[in-house]
Amino acid sequence: MTIPNWHYIEAEISKLIMKHTSKIEAHETAECANAIIDAWQFGKSFEKIMSGDKPPEKDQQNLKKAAAKLSQARELLLQIGHHGSIALEKQSQINAHDKLKQEYRLSENSYSEILANSLLPIANQIKEAAKMLNASDRGLIAVLSGSETNPPPRKGRKQKTTAHYIAKICAGIFKAGTDYKISITHDPYTDTNVAGGKFHTFLSEVFALLEIEANAEHYIKVILTEENGKLN
C-alpha cells in the first residue's frame, strides 16, 4: 500500500488556493488545504462503506449463485478423464507430504474426483449462509446512523460522495477568498457546451490533483441547488 505524501499534497493544494483566491493569506492556505484533504479522505472512506453495504437480498442472491456455480464446477470436474486428472495433479504441484496428495495415493479415486468432492462442503456452507440472511437485516449505513431500518435505494445518477464533499469545501474557500460567487459560465463565442468560470477552473484543478474522476460542472450545479434549497 502506497502512503500518500501528505506534505506534497498539502503544498500543491495550497498553491492552487493562492492561485485562485486573493483574500486568503499565505499562512492560512495550509488550514484550507487540510480541510480539502479531510473532505477527500472522509469521502473515500464513506464510499468504501457504501460499496460494501449491499441489501441483504442482494447478498443472499449472490451467495446462492456462488453455491450453484460451485456445484456446477463439481459436476464438471467429475466428468474429467484420466488425462485431465493427471494434468490437474501436475498443475497443483502438491508435494508428497500434503494431505490431499496422501488421500489421493491411498484411494482409488482420481485426483479430479478428490478435487471435485472438496468443493461440496464449501457449496453447502455457502447455501446455509444464504439461509441466515433476512431482508430486515441492518446494513452498515443503518448501523452507523443509528437507524432501525435500511435506507431506501437511491434512484437516478450515482453520486460520488468524495467529489461532493471536496466541491463543498472548495466552494466555501473560494467564496471566502474572492469577491466572486459560485457560478458556471459558457463562452458564447466558442463551444457553448463547454463549462467555464473561475470556480469551475479551481475545482477542476483540485479534482485533477487528487485524481478525482468527476465532472466539476455537475457538482457545482449540485452545490447551487443545495444553496437555493436552503434559501426557500
Given a contact cutoff of 8 angstroms between Cβ atoms, the answer to whether 220 and 199 are in contact is: yes
Residue 165 one-letter amino acid: Y
β partners of residue 196? 185
| pLDDT at res. 47 | 82
Q: At what angle do helices 111-131 and 82-92 cross, to 10 degrees?
A: 70
C-alpha cell at 194: 463547454
- Entry pTM: 0.61
Q: What is the pLDDT of residue 147?
A: 66
How do residues 178-190 score in pLDDT, each as one tens digit?
Answer: 988 888 887 766 6
Q: Identify which of 1, 36, 9 has the alpha carbon closest to the alpha carbon of residue 173.
A: 36
Q: Mutual orientation of helices 29-52 and 161-177 as an angle, nearest 10°?
A: 160
Q: What is the reported pLDDT for 106?
A: 47
- Residue 96 has what pLDDT? 41
The residues spanned by each domain of the chain are 6-53+142-150+159-231, 56-131
Least confident of 71-75, 96-100, 216-220: 96-100
Q: Which residue has the higher pLDDT, 53 or 29?
A: 29
Residue % of the chain over a pLDDT of 70: 77
Distance CA 12, CA 6 (A): 10
CA 172 to chain centre: 26
pLDDT of residue 168: 95
pLDDT at 150: 65
Q: How confident is the model at residue 59 (pLDDT cuts 50, 70, 90)?
A: confident
Helix (H, G, I), strand (E, B) or coil at 75: helix
